[in-house]
């Protein structure tokens, strides 16, 4: 895993805008009646420092805050106000390293008002994260835990720091805290937290939990590589049952979801279609591979010729076979063939007949019906169909992933068009 990716994701979770707002009223606490008083030896410097902050005269602010720092008899409260103002000046002069040091001083200072400390822990962690200081991120995060600061931004940064420190248990704990907090607020969790969970389980060779993480990534963000890994890994751990048909339906989902393909995927997809004599799908997968430059047309030409010959014999007789079919399994086979030829209305019709007939082909037919409904743009009907699914475990896994696609949260789009035939 590229650690810079996770660090960038964690930093993105911590808004600088909020940080700036948090520190612009550096002397607000001083105005409260119950607040400690500023020492006389420091007061004159802080007045000028505050004037520099208010007028954005950063040289004036920095010069006077540095003089306040040099006062030997300064109290903790003096130091709190000085560092708070310095943080503003350093940020506005783009000196994030020194700004981070000032934030840490404020957060650790015993004189810092609790509400101010709780507000400033997140930006302090952000700057420590930006400085690649995982130890400081963790130290500040533990302070947040101690003071019961419930901040998703804190959990996000801690999860990344623990991950990069090879502390898998805490990485998972804090990533989950961040995800739970986002869900509780009705927000989609940060992508980086899903990455931390997925890659932590990958390092542990825990494929089942890694797949669950990719399910959330695919559902909430829909990135082509997330769908790719989810589908590839799901192929590896398909449960018992009708694996050939389940695999074919996962390759069909690969098209629908916009997942990334590599050359081997096209060949494996064609094999899965060939295994159930779905010549339309076989042709589609090879055409896609050639069109995307992953397969060489001349090399697949003999196979393509045979597929086209078989399709010419197969497609014209589908209506006749449908009329004569008696069992749900035979009708499901016809529905599969119609779907492979992108004849979705007819696929839905044959699949519904198979469902009505009952028997061994019902689960397969329910899945074909739902996929056909998706292709025709009726996702609500597809959801209702999948809610009634009853089939073996392998087909059930394919149904789950199609259902996950229907549950996507990243912006629904029109049903994907069928691939154009090769010229």
Question: Looking at the domain assignment, is residue 308 inside a domain?
Answer: yes
Question: Looking at the domain assignment, is residue 423 inside a domain?
Answer: no
Write the pLDDT tens digit of every residue in 108-156: 999 999 998 988 998 899 899 889 999 999 999 999 989 888 788 888 8
Total domains present in the chain? 1
Q: Which helix (H) or strand (E) holds 279?
A: helix 279-291
Question: Looking at the domain assignment, is residue 304 inside a domain?
Answer: yes
Question: Looking at the domain assignment, is residue 213 inside a domain?
Answer: no
CB neighbours of 70 closer than 8 A, spacing ≥ 6? none
Per the CB < 8 A criterion, the answer to whether 39 and 71 are in contact is yes
The span from the CA of 375 to the CA of 228, in Å, is: 20
List the one residue out of 272, 266, 171, 261 whose CA is nearest residue 213. 171
Sequence-ordered strand ranges (E) for 143-290: none
The CATH number of the domain where 328 resides is what? Answer: 1.25.40
Question: Looking at the domain assignment, is residue 307 inside a domain?
Answer: yes
- Sign of the dihedral defined by the CA atoms of residues 54, 59, 62, 65, in that order: negative
Query: What are the residue ranges in the chain where pLDDT is below 70?
Result: 1-35, 412-423
Check residue 417 and give its pLDDT: 39
Question: Looking at the domain assignment, is residue 268 inside a domain?
Answer: yes
Check residue 212 and give its pLDDT: 97
For residue 1, the 8-state DSSP code is -
Check residue 153 and give its pLDDT: 83
Length of the chain in residues, anyone? 423
Per the CB < 8 A criterion, the answer to whether 54 and 60 are in contact is no
Kindly report the pTM of this predicted structure.
0.80
Question: Looking at the domain assignment, is residue 330 inside a domain?
Answer: yes
Which residues form the domain of 378? Answer: 244-406
Question: Looking at the domain assignment, is residue 77 inside a domain?
Answer: no
Check residue 151 and give its pLDDT: 80
Check residue 234 and give its pLDDT: 96
The span from the CA of 418 to the CA of 280, in Å, is: 11
Torsion of CA 334, 335, 340, 341, to 10 degrees: 80
Which contacts (CB < 8 Å, 24+ apart) does range 103-109 have?
103/127, 104/128, 104/136, 104/140, 105/79, 106/80, 107/140, 107/143, 108/143, 109/76, 109/79, 109/80, 109/83
The span from the CA of 81 to the CA of 39, in Å, is: 11
Check residue 37 and give its pLDDT: 87
């Amino acid at each position: 895993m590229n650690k810079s990716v996770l660090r960038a994701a964690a930093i993105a979770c911590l808004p600088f805008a909020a940080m700036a707002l948090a520190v612009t009223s550096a002397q607000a606490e001083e105005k409260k009646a119950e607040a400690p008083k500023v020492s006389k030896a420091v007061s004159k410097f802080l007045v000028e420092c505050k004037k520099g902050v208010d007028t954005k005269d950063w040289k004036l602010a920095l010069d006077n805050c540095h003089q306040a720092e040099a006062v030997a008899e300064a109290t903790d409260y003096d130091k709190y106000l000085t560092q708070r103002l310095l943080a503003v000046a350093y940020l506005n002069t783009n000196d994030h390293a020194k700004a981070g040091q000032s934030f840490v001083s404020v957060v650790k200072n015993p004189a810092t008002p609790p509400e101010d400390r709780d507000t400033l822990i997140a930006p302090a962690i952000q700057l420590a994260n930006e400085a690649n200081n995982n130890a400081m991120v963790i130290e500040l995060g533990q302070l947040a835990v101690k003071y019961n600061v419930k901040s998703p931004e804190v959990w996000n940064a801690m999860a990344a720091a623990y991950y990069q420190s090879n502390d898998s248990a805490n990485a998972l704990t804090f990533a989950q805290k961040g995800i739970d907090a986002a869900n509780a607020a009705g927000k989609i969790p940060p992508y980086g937290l899903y990455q931390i969970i997925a890659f932590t389980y990958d390092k542990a060779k825990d494929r089942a939990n890694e797949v669950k993480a990719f399910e959330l990534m695919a559902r909430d963000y829909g990135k082509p590589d997330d769908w790719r890994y989810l589908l590839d890994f799901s192929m590896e751990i398909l449960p018992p049952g009708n694996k050939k048909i389940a695999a074919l339906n996962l390759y069909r989902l690969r098209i629908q979801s916009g997942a990334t393909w590599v050359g081997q995927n096209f060949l494996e997809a064609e094999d899965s279609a060939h295994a159930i004599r779905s010549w339309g799908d076989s042709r589609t997968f090879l055409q896609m591979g050639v069109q995307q430059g992953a397969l060489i047309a001349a090399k697949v030409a003999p196979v393509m010729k045979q597929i086209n010959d078989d399709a010419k014999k197969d497609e014209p007789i589908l209506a006749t076979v449908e009329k004569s079919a008696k069992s749900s399994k035979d009708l499901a086979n016809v529905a599969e063939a119609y779907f492979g030829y992108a004849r979705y209305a007819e696929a839905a019709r044959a699949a519904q007949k198979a469902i009505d007939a009952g028997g061994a082909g019902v689960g397969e037919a329910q899945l074909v019906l739902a996929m056909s409904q998706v292709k025709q743009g009726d996702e609500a009907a597809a959801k209702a169909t999948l809610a009634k699914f009853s089939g073996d475990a392998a087909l059930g896994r394919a149904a789950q992933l199609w259902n996950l696609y229907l549950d996507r949260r990243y912006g629904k789009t029109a049903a994907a068009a069928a691939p154009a035939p090769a010229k």
